[in-house]
Amino acid sequence: MSYQVFTGSGGLAGWTLLNKTATRQRDLVAADGAVATATNNFRAKIGSVTSVDDLLSDHRLLTVALHAFGLENDIGNRGFIRKVLESDLSEKGSLANRLSNKSYQRLAEAFAFNSAGPPQTQQAGFADRITAQYVDREFEARVGEGDQNLRLALNARRELAALAARPSTNATKWYEVLGSKPLRAVFAGAFGFGSAYGKLPIDRQMEEFAKGARKLLGSDDMQQFTLPEKVEKLVRSFLARSAIQVDGATRRYSTALSLLSGG
């Protein structure tokens, strides 16, 4: 039986609990049988992988690699993943660069099969970096089994720090947020945006999200998310608003049930 992450009652209380226990609970996930077996196998074998074919032909290695970047649902799309891994990242129009979900670009960057020099898979620290990302994602997935909003919050904290530090323009970073379903959900929830915003032209969406950031955080500069307190404020607003929506839906359901039962 796999280790089940404890999130308490979820929501803001669950977030506080996770912040206190995350290190210990993540260690327990890492030591869990299936996870430990997968990461040990990756460390033992990834150094022998020198080509895209090598990686795609080993289901267990590919599973860890994809899960490390949140792309586990693509395990059956080997043809597509091949094109991603073979992308020339120096070409703006290459597949990995064009995809709105930048996790594919990060995957291609990490393995760098299309670059000169020795394979990244044989570089010191490569296996440790990928397996650490794999454990992080697996921990978040297990958090999500108890509360999907907490999973989204953890993902946002991890992703935003890296996104904010990248040398891209502010507009590019906002478009990356809009192209990432998990990040977009957190921002939209924190700002109180409904699904109708997704029907607006993309440039208008960016304007509205930037406006929401200025209202909540005082700035629309993505660089602010290098500061933990800014990420925390965003996440707490997301969780608080999500709890209000759930509570409202529960009350409406209870009222309807009472009426139907003649109460």
Mean per-residue pLDDT over the chain, rounded: 91
The full DSSP string for 160-225 is HHHHHHSSS-HHHHHHHHHH-HHHHHHHHHHHT--GGGGGS-HHHHHHHHHHHHHHHHS---GGGG
**Which of the pair, 179 or 150, is modelled with greater confidence?**
150
Q: Which amino acid is at 57?
A: S
What pLDDT is stored for residue 249 in this prediction? 45
pLDDT digits (tens, 9 = 90+) for 156-188: 999 999 999 988 899 999 999 998 999 999 999
- Dist CA 163 CA 175 (whole Å): 11
- Dist CA 75 CA 200 (whole Å): 32
What tokens appear for 34 in the block? 């299936």
- Dist CA 203 CA 122 (whole Å): 42
Mean pLDDT across 45-52: 96
Cβ–Cβ under 8 Å, residues 74 and 81: yes
What pLDDT is stored for residue 255 in this prediction? 42
In this model, does residue 248 exceed pLDDT 80? no
Mean pLDDT across 26-51: 97
